[in-house]
Amino acid sequence: MDIWSFITNPFVSIYELIRGGLSGLLTSVGVPDEIVRLIVFLVMGGIVVTVLLIVAPVMMMYMTWLERKLVARMQDRIGPNRAGPFGLLVPIADMIKFLTKEDIVPEGVDGPVHFLAPIVVVIPVILSFAVIQFGVGMGAVDLNLALLYLMAMGSVATIGVFMAGFGSHNKFALIGGMRAAAQIISYEIPQILAVAVIVLLAGSISLTGIIKAQSGLFGLGWFIFYLPVGPIAFFIFLLAATAEINRVPFDLPEAESELVAGYHTEYSGMKFGLFYLAEFLNTFLISAVGASLFFGGWQGPFVQQVPVLGIVYFFAKTIVLIGVQLWFRGTLPRLRVDQLMNFGWKRLVPATLALILFTASFLWAYRLFNQFLTGLGG
């Protein structure tokens, strides 16, 4: 391994070094091959998971900071500015607060359900991170069913929301939970259909495949540029995904003016912190997925030569998309329940169906045209 490739691709290089060293060590000690592979698999998996589990909460903490800053600017305020420079230590203070606050369990709650709900909400999100491709060759797993897997994980979170709403023994929580569940299953459909458009374009349901399909045009052949399908699909995806994770303007399940705090009304301390974590990780997740599907993920100029640029591109795109969602939050009012359901079922679903039909027929015509061109050449 020469120094240039180490500099241009440091993370993967370090990973490869550790793996090579470990397996070499074990083989030289005389451990059978099969066991070596098993141990290396477990150890390297552990390392990747640990890195992910550290990066994700840190990311989330600074997203809360970003949200406060941005929303404050939109509301003509300064935002956090006391703890540390530009208030950069506020998230840390927040975390300490969450960890040290008393965990109140109200009377009459359904004990195990109430206890497990925040965990069930957080786990699918973290599991989803397994398939995200953070850079060139930097995904925990390169699953060939990655998109389907992401959708499946997104739908599992509903169970957690249900548990929180039902287990709290509180009518606000119950209504919030039911609203959340109805909203999630309603908006799951346009989301999956919008993603299906991209699947049609890329001809793959693996995230790597989709990102690779956008490598044209000097790393800028992103699906968002596929007019007119790309922007429309992206718009629908963004709306549906925002609704699916219950953020403004679709934050009815936790509408503070109607339902106190929705399904997590009865949570405090670190359990509330987990809900909070899940919400921000979800925001990060859908931004990352959106960036991968529509903006080429880690694709960009010179990424083939300098792979580490991929991480920069990926995070830049993701943060811009997060910014867009925060912008929603800063500017848009909340919808009513009937408006929400009507919009989902009567506007988004038909629109996405039409879009799929259009894309498919367009691709068909394009293929025919290509055949024609081939005929010309022959």
Partner 1 sequence: MDVIGIISQLVFFLIAALTLAAGLATVLLRNVFHAGLALVGTFFGVAALYLMLEAEFLAVVQILIYIGAIAVLILFAIMLTRSLMKNEDSNINKQWAWVATVIVILFVGLFILILQVPWQHSGTAVYTDLVPHLGTALLTTYLLPFEIVSVLLLAALIGAFIIARE
Partner 2 sequence: MLLVEQFTLLIPLFPLLAFAIIVLFTRNNNRLSSWVALIGIIAALAVSLGVFFEALAEGPELAQNPFYSAPIVWYPFGTATLNFGWLVDPIGSVMLFMVPTVCLMIFIYSTSYMKHSHVDEHGHHVSEDDPRYARFFAYISLFAAAMLLLVISSNLLQFFIAWEIMGFCSYALIGFWSFRGLKEHHIDDAQVGRARAAGIKAFLTTRVGDVLLMTGIIFLFITVGNLDFTQMFNPEGLNNMLLGEPPIGALQWPTLIALLIFGGTIGKSAQFPLHVWLPDAMEGPTPVSALIHAATMVSAGIFLVIRMFPLFVFDAQSGGFSMQVVAVVGAFTAIFAATMGLAQSDIKRVLAFSTISQLGYMLAALGIGAFVAGSFHLITHAFFKALLFLAAGAVLHATGTNDMFKMGGLWRKMPITFITFMIGALSLMGIFPFAGFWSKDEILLESLREGWFHGGAVALAQFVYILLAIAAFLTALYTGRQIFLTFFGKPRDEHAYEHAHESPASMWVPLAILATFTTFLGLWNAPFISAFFHFVGEGGLVGLAQPFEHAPFDDLANISVYVSLAIALSGFLTAYFIYGFRPVAAGQADPLARLGIIWRVLANKYWLDELYGYKINLDGTAQPGLLLRFVGALSRASYWFDRNIVDGLVNLAGWIGRMLARVNGWIDRNIVDGLVNTTGSVTGEIAGWWRLMQTGNVQNYALLAAAGAMAFAILFLLRSFT
Residues engaged in binding partner 2 (CB under 8 A): 368, 371-372, 375-376
Q: Provide the greatest CA pair distance for the chain.
A: 79
Q: Using the rule CB under 8 A, is 174 a contact of partner 1? A: yes
**Closest CB 212 distance from partner 1, rounded Å:** 15
Q: Which does 363 bind (CB under 5 to 8 A by kind): partner 2, partner 1, none?
A: none
**Closest CB 362 distance from partner 2, rounded Å:** 14
- Alpha-carbon dihedral of residues 40, 41, 47, 52, nearest 10 degrees? 170
Neighbours of 221 (CB within 10 A): 14
Q: Which does 371 bind (CB under 5 to 8 A by kind): partner 1, partner 2, none?
A: partner 2
Q: Which span sits near partner 1 by CB under 8 A: 144-152, 222-230, 248-256, 321-329?
A: 144-152
**Closest CB 74 distance from partner 2, rounded Å:** 40
Q: Using the rule CB under 8 A, is 144 a contact of partner 1? A: yes
Q: Using the rule CB under 8 A, is 267 a contact of partner 1? A: no
Q: Using the rule CB under 8 A, is 337 a contact of partner 1? A: no
Structure tokens at 86: 């530009």
Q: Which span sits near partner 1 by CB under 8 A: 30-38, 55-63, 317-325, 332-340?
A: 30-38
Non-local CB neighbours of 60 within 8 Å, separated by 6+ positions? 277, 280, 281, 284
If the CB atoms of residues 38 and 365 are measured against partner 2, the closer one turns out to be 365
Distance in angstroms (rounded) separating the CA atoms of residues 378 and 231: 36
Distance in angstroms (rounded) separating the CA atoms of residues 86 and 92: 13
Task: State how far the alpha carbon of 179 is from the alpha carbons of 25, 158, 162, 200, in Å.
Answer: 55, 11, 10, 32
Find the DSSP H helices in 213-308: 216-219, 229-244, 256-259, 269-294
Contact residues: partner 1, CB under 8 A: 32, 34-35, 38, 110, 113, 144-145, 148-149, 151-156, 158-159, 162-163, 166, 174, 178, 181-182, 185, 188, 205
